Amino acid sequence: MKGKLLTLFALLLPSTSALAGQCEDNFTKTGNPLKGTEYSTTLTVPGLGVPSAIAQMHNIALEDGMNIIDENAESGAMLLEVSPNVAHRGLQVYFTAAPGGLTKMLLKTRRGSLANADSIKTSMCKMLYQLKPGKAPTTKSVGAKPITISAIKLGDQVGQTVKDNAGLIDARFKGKTYRISGYFAGSEPSSRGMEVFYDMTPSLLPGYVQSESTKLFYTRIMCVMAKDQRGHALSLREGDKIDLTGTFAEYQSNTRTAVISDCRPSK
């Protein structure tokens, strides 16, 4: 009898194929590149509760490498961000969920920005079609794989974010795990562990040839080594190549320093 009930319940749930086409049909584009363009679509998933929709989208966004700027499970609203890259300075995506399973996604581009509507539609619908019926919140995903990056590039990203809006620092970086490569500039002991600093103006031959960098201001990257890594920190010498993995902890505005915690040599 139990097996029959489960089969019946499965038949009552909407399948992905049953929803196929709805998102694409509801996709709209308004505005123009001169004033800014809005792209939006809706998808109704019968049986989808608001808290569950927010929790599921949280997981979906993280798996896609997006940043969670803000979210409220009670009101059913989220603000997501496509991480900045060479093509744009960060795209904000609004997601809302309402009783009855109605979900909506909206992307606004800045004035002067060009975008491919078909690509945006495909990306939006891919995310929305991953939503499953349910009332209870879904457990949120934990951190993803370490992000491999150079110290200079990470410093540039943090510095640009500070310039754009320092309030976005936590949403874009905090809690993310980074594998950071670069050159050793020095270390200092502290109550939280050995602090290892990356050379932010390296030359082609660190330690031998002076840097030709003309930067007057730059964001420093500092790794607080794990407690059992004191010996490794003390073994380093100026100009040594280092490759450390840790978690972004905070940005110290007074010293323009991004602090990476619990750092260890990368494996």
Q: Is residue 133 part of a domain?
A: no
Among 128, 159, 193, the domain boundary falls at 128
d(CA 143, CA 81): 17
CA dist 151 → 52, 145, 179, 217, 223 (Å): 38, 18, 9, 15, 10
Residue 198 domain boundaries: 147-265
pTM for the model stands at: 0.71
Instruction: Establish if 141 belongs to a structural domain.
Output: no
Domain of residue 35, CATH code? 3.30.160.110
Whether residues 91 and 183 share a domain: the answer is: no
Number of domains in the chain: 2
> For residue 263, what is the enclosing H or E element?
strand 257-265
- DSSP string covering 101-126: TEEEEEEEPPTT----HHHHHHHHHH
| Shared domain check, 261 and 152 | yes
The Cα–Cα gap between 107 and 37 comes to 8
Which two three-digit tokens encode residue 65? 């490498």
- Tokens describing residue 58: 């949280």
> What would the two tokens of residue 88 be?
């744009």
**Residue-wise pLDDT tens digits, 230-244:** 999 999 999 999 999
Residues 105 and 159 reside in one and the same domain = no
Query: How do residues 54-100 score in pLDDT, each as one tens digit?
Result: 999 999 998 888 999 999 999 999 999 988 765 567 789 999 999 99
